[in-house]
Structure formats: C-alpha cells, structure tokens
Amino acid sequence: MTTIKIYCYIVFGILLSITVQIESQICEKTAQYDQCSTNNACGCFHMLGANDGVGICGFLWPTCSRLVPCNSSDNSCLQSNMICVQHPQCDDRPLCYPVTMMNENICPPMISNINLKWKLNYSIVAGGNGGGNDLNQVRRVQGIYIDDDKQTIYITQYNSDRIVGWKFGEESGEIVAGGNGHGDEINQLHNPSDVTVDKKNDLLIICDQGNERVVQWSRQKQIDPRIIIAEIKCNGVTIDNNGDIYISEGETHSVIRFKQGEAEVTTVAGGNGYGYEPNQLNNPAYIFVDEQYSIYVSDHEYGRVTKWIKNAKEGIIVAKEQIPDGNIPPSFYSSGMAVDHFGNVYVILKASVNARIKPEEMILT
C-alpha cells in the first residue's frame, strides 16, 4: 500500500513539473489519442501509472523511428527534454516523447463551448414546397454537399434517382446528374445515397447505391459519366485534400480509399467483420475526413461514431452507440454527419432528432 501511494505521488509530481516547465496541458478522463486541443493534429498521450485517462496533450504524428523506448527500470528518459508516454501506434513499449511537441503553442487548449446555444432562426435553402419530384421540391434527401465556391448545394434525391444542384437564393434546383429514369445505364442513377465534389477536376463523385457502383459526372457536362468503382455496396462517399476518394461499404463493413490513377483500393477503417469492437464497423454510413486525414465514421444503426487517425488499425469512439436492452430493433438510424472545427460531431437521426455529440457522450438537443 505504501509503495502505491509513493508511486502515485511521483506521477503527480511529474505531471505538475511538466505543466510548469513546458506550458503544456494535462488531459483528464480522455481516451488515448482523443482530441484535447483546438488543433485537430493533437491528442492525448497517456502517462505511465496514471489513472482515469490522465495524460499530456501533444502532436499526434511524430516520426516513430525517432522515438526511443523509455528506461525499462523506472520509465525515465535520459534526455531532459523528453517524457515517457504510451504510444502504442508506434511501439507497445513506453516511448520517450519530445516535450517541445506538447507546447501549448502547438496544442492550444480546447475552447469551452458548453454555453453555446443554437440559433433558432433559420431560412429554407432548398425545397419547402412539399414533397415531390418537381425542381422546386425535395423528397427523400439522402446526402448533401455544400460548395461555397460555387454557391451551390448538391442534394441526392434517393427515390427520384438524381442529383439536384440548388444555387444559393434560388427558388428551384437544376438536375446535375441522373434524372433519366430509373436504371443502370451509364446516364442513369438508381437510388443515389451520397455525393461529394472533386473540385480539382470539377467532378461530382456519386455513390450510386442501387446500382452498387461509384460514378463521376462532370459539372461542365463536357464528358460522359464514368464508373470509378463497380460492384461495391457503397453507402457514403467523401474526398480529401489530395483528391483521394473514400467510400463506406456495407457488405465488408469498412471504409476504403481510392487514389485516382491507381487500380487497387486500400481499406482504411474496419474490414474486420461487423460489430462494435474498436477495429470494427457496423454498416458504416456517413464519413468525414479532416485536414489531418483522420476519418470519422458513423454506423448506420444506433448512432455510434468512431474516429480513425491516419494509418490506425482501430478507431476511437467519439459517440457511443445507444443500444436498448434486449433484442429491440433500433428506433433511429444515422442519416447525416458533420464535424466542426471544435471537434464536435453532429449526427442527424432518421427520427428527426438532432444529436450534438462531444467525445464520449451524446446530447440530444
């Protein structure tokens, strides 16, 4: 018992010393690698021997080969500008991490937004004229993409087999993909579920769910539509700053990445059967890739959201699944997701309930 008390005292002393010397911040009750800063490139590194998820907030992607193991006898580091932390993505052993990469100049503290309130005033930007197939109506919206550069909102209309673009301020939209009837011809769509924009090549990238394919349509209508990936049960699609395309896939319960110009795809999340283990997904639906190439994935049922840091083999749960007791079917399904610059995740549920989610909790508003 005495030994435990002394050990805890030493850990506390180390944490206090670090806080003073390098002006870093301590993260408490935070999962390993979870966000602890307004900089999304920073995460929590757990300290040796600390309880309740206590660690130091630092830059997430140091070069693994430059990190040396801590002294195995006392978990210390030979260099004074290093601190011993857990970093299992680099090594199962504790590693000496440079304290200069934990400075608050690199990882500023999280801004408290507990008291932020929703603005209740709103304006209709598309539809509002009842459900239907006219161009001033929307019906069965499955996914949207907002292009600020073009001042246009792109809407997937699931049962209408088309993508409609609405210019900001316009009273009706314009068909920009599909709209040629229900079918599997190259100029047709069948129950499209999501859309994103490749701005570099001026293309719409569409998950043509009913035809089990991912297709591209030119926004200039100068080239014919083309199939990018065939025979895939896609749910959601997005694109990163490099132009790489990410698709959530229902059959393999995974997210894959497609680099343009390459023949093969890479699994970047899930792919280990369906389930709720950290390395699994369960019918992934909507996906989001941030500037650091972390992938946020919403499972279709129950609202779980996981964050997969670049090259990670497991995801970090940022919104726990809300599973009822017993074998009761789910009463809500994810039908949209977005991530703001604070790291908050917003999920739209099919039961018309909006959920604002902070790491490790769900708040219905």
Segment 80-107, tens digit of pLDDT: 888 899 999 899 999 999 888 888 878 8
What's this model's pTM, rounded to 2 decimal places? Answer: 0.66
pLDDT at 316: 86
Going from the C-alpha of 302 to that of each of 129, 143, 234, 347, the distances in angstroms are 31, 18, 19, 11
Is 125 inside any structural domain?
Answer: no
**Is 15 part of any domain?**
no
Same domain (yes/no): 188, 84: no
Q: Is 261 left (phi over 0), alpha (psi -120 to 50) or beta?
A: left
Residues 187 and 331 in one domain: yes
Same domain assignment for residues 142 and 89: no
Q: What is the pLDDT of residues 4-33, one digit of tens each?
A: 222 322 233 333 333 333 355 788 888 888
- Residues 267 and 341 reside in one and the same domain: yes
What percent of the chain clears pLDDT 70, i.e. is strictly above it? 79
Does 43 share its domain with 191? no
Residue 121: inside a domain: no
Torsion of CA 141, 145, 147, 150, to 10 degrees: -40
Q: Which strands, in side-by-side order, build the sheet including 345-349?
A: 334-339, 345-349, 353-358, 361-364
Same domain, 203 and 332: yes
Q: Are residues 88 and 223 in the same domain?
A: no
Quick check: is 319 in a domain? yes
pLDDT tens track of the chain, all 365 residues?
Answer: 222 222 322 233 333 333 333 355 788 888 888 888 878 788 899 987 777 678 889 988 888 888 999 998 888 888 888 889 999 989 999 999 988 888 887 888 876 555 556 666 777 888 888 888 899 988 888 889 999 888 999 999 888 899 999 999 899 999 999 999 989 999 999 999 999 999 999 999 999 999 999 999 999 876 789 999 999 999 999 999 999 999 999 899 999 999 977 878 999 999 999 888 889 998 999 999 988 898 999 988 766 888 898 899 999 887 765 555 555 555 456 667 877 766 677 776 665 344 444 433 333 32
* Per-residue CA distances from 30 to 14, 36, 74, 76, 222 (Å): 18, 8, 24, 23, 50
Q: Would you say residue 22 lies in a domain?
A: no
87 and 175 inside one domain:
no
Looking at the fold, whether 227 and 281 belong to one and the same domain comes out as yes
Structural domain boundaries enclosing 52: 35-98
Domain co-membership, 141 together with 89: no
Number of domains in the chain: 2
User: Domain containing 229 — which CATH number?
Assistant: 2.120.10.30
